Copies of this chain bind each other. A is one copy, B any other.
Amino acid sequence: MMNIGILGYGNLARGVEAAIAQNEDLHLAAVYTRRDPSAVQVHTKGVPVREAARLDGGTEALDVLMLCGGSATDLPEQTPRYAALYNVVDSFDTHAHIPEHFARVDEAAKKAGKCALISCGWDPGMFSLQRLYASAILPEGADYTFWGRGVSQGHSDAIRRIRGVKDARQYTVPKEEALAAVRDGKNPSLTTRDKHTRECYVVTAEGFDSAEEKARIEKEIVTMPDYFADYDTTVRFITMEELEKNHKGLPHGGRVFRTGSTGFEKEHGHVIEYSLRLESNPEFTGSVLAAYARAVHRLHTEGRSGALTVFDIAPAYLSAMSPEDMRAHLL
């Protein structure tokens, strides 16, 4: 039995909790929170909720601590800090800052003799693995990553910050024409606008439902730099009831392609496609983290230390099956 701790209790943490319940060799030892523990109601019966400060001495009996905070402010601070005390797994997903995050975590974990897996999940995570395997196999080729159809929480949050918006949900949608061109091996050059559209469902706050206010809100959305300006964006105003009824879930997914050619004259084309269709983004991500918690514990038991990514972990470490069973049934 591996003893797993979870820091935080948001959507991802609950996804990890649900995943642990599906794996017989994983045991949820405790949930740690920066809030008042008595205010946190954990789903799994009998699991203690403790103050995050309890983690500080490195004395909690945990094989792996799952860091379920956000990439913007939580993980840059938490992962190096707790990697000095425990084996940890995080889902740091700010692609541009991965190298510096890795370096800081690596230093802390090596010093402490702990294993710290960063940037786990599906992107980064399973999509990264597909990009690596496929580019190693087809060195002469092109990569394409598409996201959706799914809810982007960052983009939904950005809409909610606009004056007069009560709630909002944003879906990222891959363009069918772009998918088809890639899948046909046409090696297209695609701009940001060519690849995805963005669909926004917006509920106005009281006093902001005039045609004028709606036009202003729509304009603020579609012209928002970084988030929407480079995309074809549609905005639909809906009622709170409709949002509650039809847009409560957190589905997501996407596709990674590698197209490339082989042969002495590059005469044969190949298309590798990996696709995810997820009804719950946080639960799927939590399930990836749970499988990698098993791997991190095993690697630590073998004497490994330092920061790791999914690239550094042999697939066999993820599975609860014996090597013999894997070879007999999965190979």
- Closest-by-CB residue of B relative to A314 is B314
Q: Are B274 and A262 in contact (CB under 8 A)?
A: no
Interface centre among A119, A273, A315, A331, by most chain B C-beta atoms within 10 angstroms, is A331
**CB neighbours of A276 from chain B (8 A):** 270-273
Nearest chain B CB to A118 CB, angstrom units: 9
A176 within 8 A of B: no
Q: Are A262 and B283 in contact (CB under 8 A)?
A: yes
Give Cα A287 to B136, complex, Å. 9
Supposing A311-B327, A331-B124 touch, asked if A270 and B274 sit within 8 A by C-beta, the answer is no
A320 within 8 A of B: yes
Q: Are A270 and B284 in contact (CB under 8 A)?
A: yes
A126 within 8 A of B: yes
Give Cα A268 to B277, complex, Å. 11
Q: Are B327 and A309 in contact (CB under 8 A)?
A: yes
Q: Which of A252-295 contact B (CB under 8 A)?
A: 262-264, 268-280, 283-284, 286-288, 291, 294
Q: Which of B18, B98, B269, B313 contacts A331 (CB 8 A)?
A: B98
Nearest chain B CB to A171 CB, angstrom units: 17
Nearest chain B CB to A11 CB, angstrom units: 12
Give Cα A128 to B291, complex, Å. 17
**CB neighbours of A291 from chain B (8 A):** 136-137
Give Cα A130 to B274, complex, Å. 10
**CB neighbours of A180 from chain B (8 A):** none
**CB neighbours of A288 from chain B (8 A):** 137
Nearest chain B CB to A254 CB, angstrom units: 12
A235 within 8 A of B: no
Nearest chain B CB to A105 CB, angstrom units: 12
Supposing A262-B287, A264-B18 touch, asked if A132 and B279 sit within 8 A by C-beta, the answer is no
**CB neighbours of A294 from chain B (8 A):** 136
Q: Are B331 and A22 in contact (CB under 8 A)?
A: no
Q: Are A132 and B262 in contact (CB under 8 A)?
A: no
**CB neighbours of A283 from chain B (8 A):** 262-263, 268
A78 within 8 A of B: no
Q: Which of B102, B135, B311, B330 contacts A132 (CB 8 A)?
A: B330
Supposing A273-B274, A277-B270, A278-B270 touch, asked if A136 and B318 sit within 8 A by C-beta, the answer is yes
Q: Report A's interface with B, CB cutoff 8 A.
A: 15, 18-19, 21-23, 43, 95, 98-99, 102, 119, 124, 126, 128-133, 135-140, 185, 262-264, 268-280, 283-284, 286-288, 291, 294, 309-316, 318-320, 323-324, 326-328, 330-331
Would you give 26 A-B contacts (Cβ < 8 Å), ordered by A? A18-B263, A98-B331, A99-B324, A119-B331, A129-B315, A132-B315, A136-B318, A136-B319, A137-B287, A262-B280, A262-B283, A262-B286, A268-B278, A268-B280, A268-B283, A270-B277, A270-B278, A271-B277, A273-B273, A273-B276, A309-B331, A311-B315, A311-B316, A311-B330, A311-B331, A315-B315
